[in-house]
């Protein structure tokens, strides 16, 4: 197994490094007292396996669908795009992307803006972002 550097084309906003401490109600499953006293196989619903799970749950509760965190950079030093769509190319395997699939509706932009508000992140104009991921 070698390392792979993937290219990621994503529509969204660059949130750079996020830390679970950025979210006051984030609790990791590993640190959840309620889960530790019950059955590990049945999560309490108030804790999360990672930031992606947390953001999915928060946005779902707010009625926002189709927006989530897209992790890039590397496993050891994850960075995030909050976005609605992404394409990934593995090293040596170009991916064809039809230009008409890159059109973005106002509804899609609006969902990202609303997600930024719900997550208490600074408003940014969504755009197609080219990033990389080393895993
Ligand atoms: Zn729990």
pLDDT tier, 123 (very low <50, low <70, confident <90, very high otherwise): very high
Q: What is the pLDDT of residues 45-100, one digit of tens each?
A: 889 989 999 999 999 999 999 999 999 999 889 999 999 999 999 999 999 999 99
Ligand 1 centroid to Cα of residue 33, in Å, is 7
Query: What's the confidence (pLDDT) of residue 38?
Result: 67
Ligand 1 centroid to Cα of residue 26, in Å, is 11
pLDDT cut 70: percent of the chain above it: 95
Domain residue spans of the chain: 5-134
Query: What's the confidence (pLDDT) of residue 42?
Result: 73
Ligand 1 centroid to Cα of residue 89, in Å, is 35
DSSP state of 48: B
Measured distance CA(53)–CA(47) in Å, rounded: 9
- Whether the Cβ atoms of residue 86 and residue 94 lie closer than 8 Å to each other: no
Angle between helices 106-118 and 51-61 (to 10 degrees): 110
Phi and psi angles of residue 86, each rounded to the nearest 5 degrees, phi first? -150, 150
Ligand 1 centroid to Cα of residue 32, in Å, is 5
Q: Please determine, for residue 1, whether its predicted confidence score (pLDDT) is greater than 60.
A: no
On average, the pLDDT of the chain sits at 92
């Amino acid at each position: 197994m070698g390392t792979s550097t993937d290219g990621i084309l994503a529509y969204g906003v660059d949130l750079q490094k996020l830390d679970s401490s950025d979210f006051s109600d984030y609790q990791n499953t590993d640190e959840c007292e309620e889960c530790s006293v019950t059955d590990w196989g049945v999560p309490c619903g108030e804790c999360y396996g990672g930031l992606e799970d947390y953001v999915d749950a928060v946005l779902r509760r707010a009625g926002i669908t189709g927006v989530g965190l897209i992790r890039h950079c590397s496993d050891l030093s994850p960075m995030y795009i909050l976005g609605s769509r992404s394409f990934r190319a593995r090293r040596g395997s170009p991916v064809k992307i039809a230009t008409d699939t890159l059109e973005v509706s106002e509804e899609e932009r609006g969902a990202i803006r609303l997600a930024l508000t719900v997550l208490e992140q600074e408003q940014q104009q969504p755009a197609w972002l080219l990033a990389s991921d080393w895993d």
